[in-house]
Structure 1
Amino acid sequence: MSTQRQIALLRGVNVGRAKRIAMADLRKVLGDLGFTNVRTLLNSGNAVFDCAARDAALSAVRIEETLVLKLGVPARVTVLDAQQLAEVVAANPLVDVAADPARLMVAVLSNPAHRAKLEPLAHQQWQPEAFALGRWAAYIWCADGVLASRAAAAVGNLLGDAVTTRNWSTMSKLHALAMES
């Protein structure tokens, strides 16, 4: 049976007081779903796991449902496979622009079709910020911080919970974790 390495990004988990999930509980939930080699990164709802290739397409929905049923936590889940994550990391055109990886945000699309909604943003002027659009994600350089970012706010306004954002440091760590055997 072939397996596929996947990366789950839970939206809004462990940010503030709402939607609290211990990473040990998340690992258990994923293990109970039959996923193997489950590892979490940080305390913010990032997980890398292996699943049967035949189950890969439904993993986000299964995780979302199980989080509610087992932990009582509703959270949108975006899942990329290892190849998609590698493409997100390799395609980032703003790496050389960003002076601080904590302010370089990657907005991962839960549905690649939503990319079309963001295309007008790629043609706007954002200085001192920067915005770029990839196949699976948008890249946002938040020069004055995430909370002050007009580009990040625009992405959130257009997509709501159909996007989840991680900083470049986290994405780089997830990519390294996903590449481990």
Structure 2
Amino acid sequence: MATRYAALLRGINVGGHKKVPMAELREVLSELGHTDVATHLQSGNAVFSTDTDDGEQALAADLERAIAGRFGFAVDCLVRDGAYLRAIVDDCPFPAAELEGRQLHVTYFSAPVTPARFAAVDAAEFAPEAFRLGDRALYLYAPDGLGRSRLADVLARPALLKGTVATSRNWNTVRRLAELTDLTNPTG
């Protein structure tokens, strides 16, 4: 039976850099043998099904190689299965139903991150903004949106992200990717 995945590409189609048209991204995924390929928005979100049991890291590495071959530049990719994406939604430590999608964000990491990595961040200094760690993810509550978040700037510092690939999505996209990868959801 096929498993449904989401590919999260980091840093494409931002400010005219690393242009990856979504139609071509769908072609790349199809050429890799994946089926039911679709994209969501223009910011590097794709969903697909595959029968392979290679695992998320191998799928991401294959996609990174294919993108580099097609477009001539490197793009970091994370691949997560539908069950993981659903768990991210279900495990949200903030009252997501009470917030606007622009107020809540998830940063996905290529590997688990520990509280020790973020111990130097004085969360009280940024209140009411707040963050919580999840499974290979960081939830960020930014009541005025990401663009005005001082905490988001601190959390994105290279020293905190060293040794891991990280890419963020707003809550609307987080929920939509969970829906699109849910094999039991007829609208997904």
Q: TM-score, normalised by structure 1?
A: 0.89
Match of 1:166 in 2: 169
Distance verdict in 2 for CA 1:101–1:122, change over 3 Å: farther
1:177 aligned residue: 180
- Residue 108 of structure 2 is aligned to residue 108 of structure 1: yes
Q: Which runs of 5+ in 1 are unaligned?
A: none
Partner-residue secondary structure (3-state), 1:147: helix
Pair 98,107 (structure 1): closer, same or farther in 2 beyond 3 Å: farther
Q: Does 1:54 align with 2:53?
A: yes
Q: Which amino acid aligns with 1:172?
A: R
Q: 1:12 maps to which residue?
A: 11
RMSD after superposition: 2.1
TM-score between both structures, scaled by the size of structure 2: 0.85
After the TM superposition, which residues 56-71 of structure 1 pair with which residues of structure 2 at under 5 Å, given as runs? Answer: 56-57=55-56, 58-71=58-71
Q: Which runs of 4+ in 1 moved over 6 A?
A: none
Does residue 138 of structure 1 match 2:138?
A: yes
State the one-letter code of the partner of 2:38: R
Residue 41 of structure 1 aligns with an amino acid whose one-letter code is H
Contact preservation (8 Å) 2:3, 2:51:
yes
Q: How many Å separate the matches in 2 of 1:138 and 1:116?
A: 10
State the alpha-carbon separation in 2 of the partners of residues 118 and 48 from structure 1.
30
Count of residues paired in the alignment: 179
What residue identity is the alignment partner of 1:7? A
Report % sequence identity.
Answer: 35
